[in-house]
Amino acid sequence: MGHNKKNNKRPESISLQKNIGESSTNIFQEPNINFLESKIRFSFRMCDTKKFCIRKLTDIEIVDFYSVLKKYEEMTWREISQCSHKIGLTYEKKEWDSYKDMSRDYPNINNFMHFRVKNNSLFRIYGSRDKDLFLIIKIDPKGKFTTHG
């Protein structure tokens, strides 16, 4: 029946909070950092299919979208966390409208982040991390989903 681990209390979703209401941008402060050496994987199971979905992308945006996913899938979470926010992950702060909107729509998730599809572009992919999986929540090629409050 499966293998035994000394500590099998690994949380399903790890919070990026230090204290209630205080978000952290340091991925290394999390209680279980085993995922850091894992390659990033992506899931669309949480994606907002009404407004922010891959079906809304143009042909060129789809090419850019898949190119960046391919690039990130070759990286570990540690590697992407050490990138500049212009090409890596940006953690949503609780005071930002984007965090408030996503936490209202996804109340069981308490860490949200985004990455840019191209440097300095408005095209962003919003999501959350569950172990080594990046859960894609919103695909926003035009910057319609506000980042800062």
Higher-confidence residue: 47 or 118? Answer: 47
0.75 exceeded by pTM = no
pLDDT of residue 19: 35
Q: Where are the alpha helices (DSSP H) in the chain?
A: 59-73, 77-81, 97-105
Q: With contact defined as beta carbons under 8 Å apart, do 125 and 136 qualify?
A: yes
Mean pLDDT value across the chain: 77
Q: Tell me the per-residue pLDDT of 33-80, one tens digit each, with 9 for 90 and over.
A: 788 888 999 999 988 888 888 888 999 999 999 999 999 999 999 898
Say if residue 95's pLDDT is above 90: no
pLDDT of residue 63: 93
Tell me how far apart the alpha carbons of residues 65 and 57 are, in angstroms, rounded to a whole number: 9
Cβ neighbours for 14, distance < 8 A, ≥ 6 positions apart = 30, 31, 32, 111, 129
Tell me how far apart the alpha carbons of residues 116 and 122 are, in angstroms, rounded to a whole number: 7
pLDDT of residue 22: 38
* DSSP structure class, residue 9: -
Say if residue 11's pLDDT is above 50: no
Higher-confidence residue: 25 or 107? Answer: 107
Phi-psi region at 101: left, alpha or beta (left = phi > 0; alpha = psi -120 to 50): alpha
Tell me how far apart the alpha carbons of residues 112 and 127 are, in angstroms, rounded to a whole number: 6
